[in-house]
Structure 1
């Protein structure tokens, strides 16, 4: 059936998300750590945002990027985890087709925005270490605002076609999707037509957007590490390596599960068990949001001291 002969009537009114296939009996127990991790992610990111916003001394590029990262972490996890918990605990897997498309759009676009922020953070460290004297000149508030706007515009521009690519497909009554939330290829696999265009476009977006970001981050850290090892002071080298190590850990936690899930959806569907794939798909929307505030809160002295001061002040008021 050609795309031109497909009417809106071919689109299902609702879809049904099954959760984690093959582990239905354990859904309630699986949902408990998911729920705990989600609450920790909400509390950690909200605290990080509060500390940065309420302290003028932290209105520097590095901390502003951290604030943006926490905002996207909150959005990414809140777009998916509540529905996942509803499926695991209450078997509430039904979702409207348009609602599924909206969730898919939010998941992919927010993920692309977060990738842009991580690239901006790598650039921030590059300028701070390799061009220290011009740091505040290059990364002023106006530039940070433009970086944020470009990241949002890019993500919307590259993810929006997913909606049209999915709406052009016939679904022939197929409504059941083995997943805990809606994503592009999960929906496309329900279609009873050729989805080569979806696969090719999805791969192109991943390689040219998120893939390019990860390559640029890697290149920037090659230059950063080269500059770090040239620092005359051992203490300065240790401090710079500690900061860079934290950032690299965040990058790896963010990109590796996502790329594995993405590539599995396209090339390893028959070799990787479905429940493994679904677990990994949940990892990349849960693990970075919970780890980022812990890593940066513990490793960044300024944030840690101000957070402790804020908690101590509130304790005194109580």
Structure 2
């Protein structure tokens, strides 16, 4: 899809923007990927059961209640947060580190495979995505919107304006976002708003609220969004409703994580995770050797039994091109 926009954001009409699609859980990943390249965001209904969301709420409620007032302009004062959530809630870890759809979509936009010369041999290396942030947000009735922003400014992603999304999906993004509703999320109680199509915008184009789409969801629904999209939490105009969501971002394997997962997640809890979760948390080599510990894969720091000998960090597939 080609989008030709007026020079000024103020002259863009909402009807000029791409449609944000909603799909049932189980939709093929390729369809979700296509929808993301067109609109920058997509909603997947029924990602998790309402019953599991109630269990998650019970587990994180004390953590949210212990949060203090936010002193700044990025969140309304009425917002309560719980950061590094995978280190504080086993259910949160399960539905993020253990959610294969999240990581398949992350692979599509963030995994990278490159080759390089090692003497006269052509070596291959894959860098898989890792967790960037996992935060619970409780938004009570408030008067202020969160400012529209791009989370990828954390990684200094200086984007140029384009008309169509690159065929090489890994070329543009540093982040993939995933927000799932723990409780019913509506425009009135502060649903995440974002600008469809803003993943194609350049750095100089200013966001505007007149173009906002509100990601309304039932408990267990998920909203996926490219990190290059302008978005923000919204004001809660209800009298007594709470908007309770978990916001997750994944990032490239060779970038620094916005949340320091190694310090935020207790070591004993990290050791209790399945190996696949540990690697998604960041305990993995970004091939060929970014992130090693004493010239070894950091996964051995958590589980020494995985050690199969002192050797180069090149993968077994280092001489064979990967297939993403």
Pair member with larger Rg: 1
Higher percent of residues as strand = 2
Higher percent of residues as helix = 1
Q: Which has the higher contact order (CA 8 A, sep 6+)?
A: 1
Please give the range of the TM-score, normalised by the shorter of the 2 chains: under 0.3
